[in-house]
């Protein structure tokens, strides 16, 4: 399979096979090509080139309907269920038996119950999906797949939101599917799980297949070898400054025992003045959820947050902005900018009160301020009046920086600040972050590119399974970071 997107090759001549009744693990860092390959098998994407064989017969999977006819089903990480319908209605959706335009409810519930019986669930076909736990909803997704022809089931990060007991129950379901001859492709960042449930594992890196290995022996050496395959050569990434020689400033942010059920578990750490603190972890580890909680966009269940030594309640983003916190979200286009507005309007939007007098906007002052940021950040555009939606990704990111710098925030929460921008733009973003640190502003930095975290951060906190499991110095070997992020290097 070969699949290209503008500016990148997502899959580069990747070969992959799955045997009947096999549980086949698929691993790789974020962006390795796992989801792209599965979306091609599911019919959601079309490759530039490549051939697909189902039971030895070459076929073209032109859309998801064709994939379903071939018995290929996919259980996505983000479950696709109708929460206000019953379990049976979700399972049988689109295949109800109708009689004179009326639903045969008895038949529907009977069919739903028959499928649920194969999974040994603790809920019934008449239960509303909204009343179920995440693990139970996942079982509904699996039942929905099994209610139709199913010979190959793709599971994308199926345990991301599950507890240990729920994960064990899911493994029992997967084993039962395997015994029935149903093949399972199991995508996960958790190597411990891959070795526990999978027969073989394929490693992808940068859109290429590195190797496929048997998982009969689960040794630390083998896990370490897979980590090396995932990241390439163990290359020491030089930090801009070693954490050991940094003279840390005062504590500007202290988090104690922060918890959100299923999202964050007992998170505690400190952030110092002028420090760049890296958050490393793979998809589902809790990185984004932590930043959203600190920005008041995700309600916490317990725990405390202190800013400059004072306890604060961050119930809304307005609360966070008032105490000097700002979020650069992962999705800058939909959450960080108003694309139809100008550069000037985006920069000043959170700070209009500072530009107003007696209820009137001081247009001259607004123009002067925005031009200063426009020039200092070297934004590539005709003027501050140009629409933000017309800028490149790197220049859009600079506008998000400018917005929060003008708002006088001193703690910046950066979620994937280099996503979707080219190499040159990344270097410019790195320079901006380093300049902010030099000014005494503090930064919490999240990136799926773990070499970026190792390069830029003074300290690194590694998240795994919604917890902080390790603190590492900046400039450390990326391999050590990946091992901890996959649960291998956690003692």
CATH at residue 31: 3.40.50.300
The answer to whether residues 201 and 304 belong to one domain is: no
Q: What local confidence, expressed as pLDDT, does residue 166 receive? A: 73
Of 182, 198, 231, the position where a domain reaches its end is 231
Per-residue pLDDT of the chain (491 residues), as tens digits, is 999 887 678 899 999 999 999 999 999 876 788 888 999 999 999 999 999 999 999 999 999 899 989 999 988 876 788 999 999 999 988 776 555 667 788 888 998 898 888 777 889 999 999 998 777 888 888 888 888 888 999 998 887 666 667 788 888 889 989 999 999 999 987 788 888 899 999 999 989 999 999 987 767 778 778 888 887 754 434 444 444 434 567 999 999 999 998 889 999 999 999 999 999 987 778 898 999 999 999 999 999 999 999 999 999 999 999 999 999 988 788 888 999 999 999 999 888 888 888 888 888 888 888 898 888 888 888 889 999 988 877 788 889 989 998 888 999 999 988 876 655 667 788 888 998 899 899 999 998 777 788 888 999 999 988 999 999 998 888 888 888 888 876 65
Strand pairing partners for 279? Answer: 446, 461
For the chain, what is the domain count? 2
The answer to whether residues 221 and 251 belong to one domain is: no
Return the structure tokens found at 213: 């290995």
Q: DSSP assignment, residue 285?
A: S
Residue 237 counted as domain residue: no
Return the structure tokens found at 428: 């410019």
β-pairing verdict for 23-27 and 200-205: parallel
The answer to whether residues 279 and 428 belong to one domain is: yes
Of 185, 209, 231, the position where a domain reaches its end is 231
Residue 491 counted as domain residue: no
Q: Are 276 and 262 in contact (CB under 8 A)?
A: no
Residue 238 counted as domain residue: no
The answer to whether residues 100 and 207 belong to one domain is: yes
Q: Are 227 and 486 in contact (CB under 8 A)?
A: yes
- Full domain range(s) for residue 389: 243-485
Q: Which long-range contacts (CB under 8 A, 24 or more apart) does 367-371 make?
A: 369/406, 370/343, 370/344, 370/402, 370/406
Which of 257, 331, 313 has its CA nearest to residue 290?
A: 257
pTM of the model: 0.61
């Amino acid at each position: 399979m070969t699949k290209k997107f503008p500016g990148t090759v997502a899959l580069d001549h990747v070969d992959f096979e799955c045997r009947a009744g096999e549980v086949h693990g698929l691993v790789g860092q974020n962006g390795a090509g796992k989801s792209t390959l599965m979306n091609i098998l599911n019919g959601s994407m079309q490759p530039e080139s490549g051939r697909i064989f189902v039971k030895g017969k070459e076929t073209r999977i032109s859309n998801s309907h064709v994939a379903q006819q071939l018995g290929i089903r996919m259980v996505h990480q983000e479950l696709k269920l109708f929460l206000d319908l019953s379990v049976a209605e979700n399972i049988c959706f689109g295949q109800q038996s109708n009689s004179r335009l009326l639903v045969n409810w008895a038949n529907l519930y009977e069919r739903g119950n028959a499928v649920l019986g194969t999974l040994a669930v603790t809920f019934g076909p008449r239960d509303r999906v909204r009343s179920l736990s995440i693990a139970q909803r996942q079982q509904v997704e699996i039942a929905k797949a099994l209610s139709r022809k199913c010979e190959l089931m793709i599971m994308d990060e199926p345990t991301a939101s599950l507890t240990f007991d729920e994960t064990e129950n899911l493994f029992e379901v997967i084993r039962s599917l395997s015994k029935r001859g149903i093949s399972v492709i199991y995508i996960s960042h958790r190597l411990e799980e891959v070795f526990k449930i999978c027969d073989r594992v394929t490693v992808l890196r940068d859109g290429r297949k590195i190797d496929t290995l048997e998982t009969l022996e689960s040794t630390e050496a083998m896990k370490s070898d897979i980590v090396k395959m995932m990241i390439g050569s163990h290359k020491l990434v030089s930090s801009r400054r070693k954490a050991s020689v940094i003279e840390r400033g005062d504590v500007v942010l202290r988090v104690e025992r922060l918890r959100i059920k299923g999202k964050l578990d007992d998170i505690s750490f400190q952030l110092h003045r002028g420090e760049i603190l890296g958050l490393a972890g793979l998809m589902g580890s809790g990185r984004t959820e932590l930043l959203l909680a600190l920005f008041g966009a995700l309600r916490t269940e317990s725990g405390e947050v202190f800013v400059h030594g004072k306890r604060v309640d961050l119930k809304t983003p307005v609360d966070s902005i008032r105490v000097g916190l700002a979020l650069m979200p992962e999705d800058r286009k939909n959450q960080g900018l108003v694309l139809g507005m100008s550069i000037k309007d985006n920069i000043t939007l959170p700070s209009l009160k500072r530009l107003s007098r007696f209820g009137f906007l001081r247009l001259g002052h607004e123009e002067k301020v925005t031009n200063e940021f426009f020039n200092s950040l070297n934004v590539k555009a005709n003027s501050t009046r140009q629409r933000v939606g017309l800028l490149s990704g790197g220049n859009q990111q600079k506008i998000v920086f400018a917005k929060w710098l003008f708002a006088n925030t001193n703690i910046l929460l950066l979620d994937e600040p280099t996503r979707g921008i080219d190499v040159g733009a990344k270097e410019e973003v790195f320079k901006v972050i380093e300049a902010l640190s030099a000014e005494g502003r503090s930064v919490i930095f999240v990136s799926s590119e773990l070499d970026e975290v190792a390069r830029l951060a003074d300290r690194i906190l590694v998240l795994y399974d919604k917890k902080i499991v390790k603190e590492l110095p900046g400039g450390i070997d990326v391999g050590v970071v990946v091992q901890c992020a996959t649960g291998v290097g956690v003692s």
